[in-house]
Every structure is written in structure tokens, then in C-alpha cells.
Structure 1
Amino acid sequence: MVTSLVGELPPGWRQASLEEVCEFRAGAAVRSSAKGPVPLLKPRNVADGWLTEGPDSISEAAAAGLPGYRLAAGDVVCVRTGGVGRHAMVTSEQDGWIFGNGVIRLRHGDAVDPSYLNHYLSHPSVRDWMKRNAAGTAIPSLSMNTLAAMPIALPPLEVQRSIGQVLDAFNEKIQVYERIQRTTAQLRDTLLPLLMSGTATVAE
């Protein structure tokens, strides 16, 4: 049996490097614009497996000069500086966004399912590998060459898709609960000063 980052692989599984199954590109160095209509993905928008709301933006003219930096649904993005290990899969909602400096885009080939790849990067042993191979101490940084060399365990495609679908369902539930948590916190913060000042009262 083959031993990989995630343990011994079952029959029918194989190991490859990320560069064998993905195309890599580092993000563009571009300034955001308050009035730009094209969303600009930055490291702060990359959460734990999904992308967050509230991206910066750039102008249409600036985006037109960066055709190779457009995101497409199914791309996986990784943070390369600071928050090493954070990653997310691009959905149809982010299709066409520009990805900026500090982000590496992985565009999958035929041998890997994008959802599987996204969840593989969440595996504790894979996260540990990225941290151990990051350069720098104060601000860890993961180079594109280092990430490209990272081993990935590859089950058959149908197994990859099944794994991705199961874990995607969990991610969707987590995102729903996080939105509820944020909304509830905002309501509390709005109500607190009103109650404390007597502007609002509690009905008995």
C-alpha cells in the first residue's frame, strides 16, 4: 500500500503532486477602487473552505487588462502569505472575479474533482504539511513552487465526487449557522445601547 500525507491509501487510490493535477497562478498586484464594479478577491475573503462576502473591487478597465486573473467556478484559491492554509472553492457567484496579490489559484485538471481538492486541503495532516513547509516566522509564506510539490491522495473520480458532495453538505450547514450567528450578534449590538439608555424597554 502507498503511504501518503493522509495515511495508507486503499487499492485503486494513487498519489500525485498538486502540479500534476492542477494549473497554478499567483494573484495580480492591483489596487482596489471604491467605485469599481468588478470584485477583487483578497486573502481576507478566503475563509475555511469557502469565500466570504464584502470583497474590494476594481474598474472594468483594470479588469480588462487582467484576463488571465479571472476566477471561474471550480477554481480553488489558497492564501500564500499570513494565513497559510486558508483556502476556498470558487462558486458560480464568484465567477469572473479578479484574484489579487497574496492568493494562489489552482485550476483543476481532469484527474481531480474540485470539491474533493478543496476538502483535501482541509485535512489536518495537509494543513500541518503547509505550515511546516511555509517560509518565514513572523509572517509565514507558502511559495507557489512549494505548494505545487505537495502530495495529494487521489481516489477514483467517482469516489472523489462522493467525498466532495458529503463534505459540501456540511460546509453549507456551517455557513448557514455562521450567518445566523452574525445576524443575531448584530441585533444584540443594536438593541444593547437602546436598552441601556432606556430608549427601548423590555415588555413584561
Structure 2
Amino acid sequence: MSMQTLEELCELIVDCKNRTPPAAPVGEGVAFSIGTPDIVDGRIRLQGAKRVTQETYDIWTARAVPRADDIILTREAPVGRVGRIEDGMILCLGQRTMLLRPDISRTDPRFLHYFLLSDDVQAMLHGHASGSTVPHLRVAQVRTLPVPLVPDLAVQRAIGQLLGALDEKIAVDAAVAATSRELSLAFFGQAVHSDQPVEVMVESVVTALTRGVAPKYTDSSDELPVLNQKCVRDGRVNLELSRLTLREKVNASKLLQRNDVLVNSTGVGTLGRVARWTLPLEATVDSHITIVRFDKQKVDPVCAGFAMLLAQPDIEAMGEGSTGQTELRRAQVGGLEITLPSSAAQKELRIRLDALEERAEQALAESRTLAALRNALIPQLMSGRLRVRDAERIVEDAV
């Protein structure tokens, strides 16, 4: 296995402008600006990404127009997230990112993408990062990154295709979950408009309305997961971005219960995001998140949760404070008015919502399993300890 630098394997490595592209007016824009929050688990996610105008796109792509199979690497906050541009994506680089264009005569783009995601390379990227306050990578450091490559380009392609098949299945599962949620929201909206709707103030129908804990962080794997604002996105919870806190320091009232609603309550860009907690495990949230626990004697918690999801734009607009210090007070969340179907309609709707959410959770659970398998296979395949043929049998059994 030969050693080369990343620069030798790429046609182009360019940094972004050191600022965020201005967003286009709502409903307009010709392309997406991709920053660190838009690269998750090795994929570029357009949902939630900001759009830019043609003028901004032309300015921000003057050095390089991103195209399919280019790789976006984040250079800070955090270091080392990697995403490959897929067909049909029209993008420009957001702040803290750089673009790598593989030389396809020497390396397979998918292979290089997964190589950069491997644990060894991630550790190397973090080791090269400099800066005491915010660790960051310089372009020169990325250019000289040592890359051990499988000599045979055909083997590279086989590895890339194999791992790509797992990612495609993960994408299908994500689409199933997204469609299930869209249907749930549509059914809820239909029930509200076809029935005699009931407007209630959140604080009048809850048993708990409280901020989370001030975590005592630990690395011990048997301690309690604690969610932060980054964990709440797209109406769901992403545990991969959580940390661990000492269980003994958490009051029982702050432990999450099924169908709790979580509301991000501080910070620019994250304030107002809403998610429902449905996972069968013990966890808590930090003090930047408000827990809303509905009283099942007064409203159906699932229906009330969907009312909160639909109210997210209103919640996002409720923040107070100066730039960078936006705050959503507990009283503001409690004073929010939500619209629900009648009590009888809630009972009927609950059955449909539970079925759709269960289907979504099954898809997301499978997605997490496949992602874990992919992550386990990457170092084995990259090092040559596992042959592609053997890995193919493992993947076939999994999918």
C-alpha cells in the first residue's frame, strides 16, 4: 500500500470565503449554501440549508463551482465533517468549509470520501487542527495529509460501491421517516380543520414545563445521555450529538418521558426548534432546552406534540435578547396557544399518528444499525484486513 498526499490525489483543494454567504429572501434562491450544520453522518443534507441568489452564487463559486463527486470537508466548528456532493445538488461553500475534487484517474471519489470518514483519518485531522479557542484546519495541512491507497483503482471502486450501497439504504430509511412525518402532520392539520378545533394555552395542559440540567459531563459510557441544542433538528432527536452526564446529579423530574416535547430555548439559529422524545431509554436535556410534558388527563400528548411541531415557526419568532444571546423564557413557552382537534377526534387521530411514527422509528433504527455497520467496515476495508468479497456477504445479510 503506497503513501501519497491528499493534494496528489485531488485536482483541486480550495477554501471557502471566511464568512457566511448572505441568504436569499424567503422563497427565492438558485442554490444552497452548505456549512457545518448541513453535513451530518457523512452526508450533505439540504433540508434546513440556506438558499442564495444567483449573484451570491456567482461570487462564492468564483474559485470553483462545486459539482457531483466533489467532497466538502469542514475545517472548524467542528473539524472533519465530510460530505460528497451528489448528482443534482447545486451548492456553494458556506463558512468553515473547503472543497476537494478527487482526480478520478488516481482515486475513486466514493473511496476517498469514506477514507476521510475513517477513524484513523479523523484522528489525524483533529490532531493537525490548531488554535486554542476554536481548533481549525488550514488548507496547507489538508493538502499534505498522508493517504495510504489501495493500489488497484478497481478495488477502490468496489469498496466505494459497497459502502455506498449501505448509504443508499440509509437514505431510503431517512426518506421513509420523513414521509411518515409529513403524513402525520398532514393528518393532524386535516383533523384540526375538519373538526371543531380547541385552542389551549400550553401551561394549562401540562404537568411539567421546565428547563433541563446543568450537566456534570463525564466520559463513562454507563452514565446518562444529556441532549443539547444540536440534538434537536427537523422535529426529531439525534443522539449522536449528545454527551454524558453524571446520573446521580440529575433529579428524577428532569428525566425524559415518552412523548415529552423538547424546545430549544437559547441561541441564534437553534432557538425554537421542536422535537418529540420517543426513544425507549433514559436521558435528560441541558439547561438550554425546555421540557414540555403534557397532562394526558387533559389532552392527548401525541396530538399536543404535533401541535407544538406545527407551531415551531411561531416559537422561533418568540425569542428575546441581543444578537448571539437570544433567550426563550419558560413563561413564553407556557403562554403559547396551540390548536387541537376535539377530545374525541384526538383519540381517533392518536391511533393513526402512532402507527406512522412507529414506522418512522423502525426506519430510523434500521438506519442507525446500517450506519454502525458502515462505520465498522470502513477501517477494515481501508486497511485491507477485510476483503471486499467478505464484506459484501456481511452487507447482503444486513440489507
Contact 1:27-1:69 within 8 A present in 2 as well: no
User: Who is 2:67 aligned against?
Assistant: 72
Report SS of the residue matched to 1:153. Answer: strand
Distance 1:191 1:70, change over 3 A: farther
2:141 to 139, 146, 150: 146
* Shift in CA distance, 86/202, structure 1 to aligned 2, threshold 3 Å: same
The residue that corresponds to 1:48 in the other structure is 41
1:201 paired to 2:190:
no
Is 1:25 aligned to residue 8 of structure 2?
A: no
Q: 2:237 aligns to what?
A: none
The 3-state SS of whatever aligns with 1:93 is coil
Whether contact under 8 Å (2:22, 2:56) holds in the other structure is no
Give the stretch that moved more between structures: 74-83 or 133-142.
133-142
Distance 1:42 1:136 in 2: 20
In the superposition, the TM-score normalised over structure 1's length comes to: 0.82
With 73-82 and 57-66 compared, the bigger mean Cα shift is at 57-66
Which stretches in structure 1 are left out of the alignment for 5+ residues? 1-12
**Are 2:166 and 1:177 aligned?**
no
Listed as ranges, the matches of 1:119-138 within 5 Å are 119-138=114-133
CA offset digits 1:152-179 (Å, max 9, x no partner): 1111211110000000011112223334
**Is 2:8 aligned against 1:14?**
no
Figure out how many residues of one structure are paired with residues of the other and give that number: 191
- 1:62 alignment partner, SS class: helix
Of the two structures, which has the highest relative contact order with CA contacts closer than 8 Å and spacing of 6 or more? 1
Say which SS state the counterpart of residue 158 (structure 2) adopts. Answer: helix
Task: Show CA shifts across 1:125-161 (max 9, x none).
Answer: 1111111111134422111111111111111211110
- Note if contact 1:115-1:161 (Cα within 8 Å) is conserved in structure 2: yes
How many Å separate the matches in 1 of 2:163 and 2:303?
37
Letter in 2 for 1:200: Q
> Could you tell me how far apart the structure 1 residues matched to 2:76 and 2:179 are?
30
Change over 3 Å in CA distance of 1:125–1:97 after alignment to 2: same
What CA deviation, in whole Å up to 9, does each residue of 1:112-136 have, x standing for no partner?
A: 1100000001111111111111113
Which residue of structure 2 lines up, in the alignment, with residue 104 of structure 1? 98
CA distance in 2, matches of 1:60, 1:200: 46
TM-score of the two chains, using structure 2 as the length reference: 0.44
> Residues of 1 paired with 2:16 and 2:130: CA distance?
18
Name the structure 2 match of 1:3: none
Deviation, 1:197, is: 7.4
Counterparts in 2 of 1:131 and 1:202: CA distance versus 1, 3 Å: same
AA aligned opposite 1:120? F
**Alpha-carbon shift at residue 184 of structure 1 (Å):** 5.2
3-state SS in 1 of match to 2:57? helix
Residue type matched to 2:92 in 1?
Answer: I
Q: 1:192 to 1:21 in 2, by over 3 A?
A: same
1:168 to 159, 164, 181: 164
Identify if the C-alpha distance between structure 1 residues 202 and 75 changes in structure 2 by more than 3 Å, giving closer, same or farther.
Answer: same
Partner SS, residue 164 of structure 2: helix
Aligned to 1:158: 154
Q: Alignment partner of 1:67: what SS?
A: coil
Counterparts in 2 of 1:82 and 1:202: CA distance versus 1, 3 Å: same
Contact 1:79 1:102 in 2 (8 A): yes
Partners in 2 of 1:142 and 1:104 — Cα distance? 10
Secondary structure in 1 matching 2:33: strand
State percent identity of aligned pairs: 23
| Aligned partner of residue 3 in structure 2, secondary structure | strand
Q: Which moved more, 1:153-162 or 1:183-192?
A: 183-192
Q: In the alignment, which residue of structure 2 is the partner of 1:6? A: none
SS of residue paired to 2:78 = coil
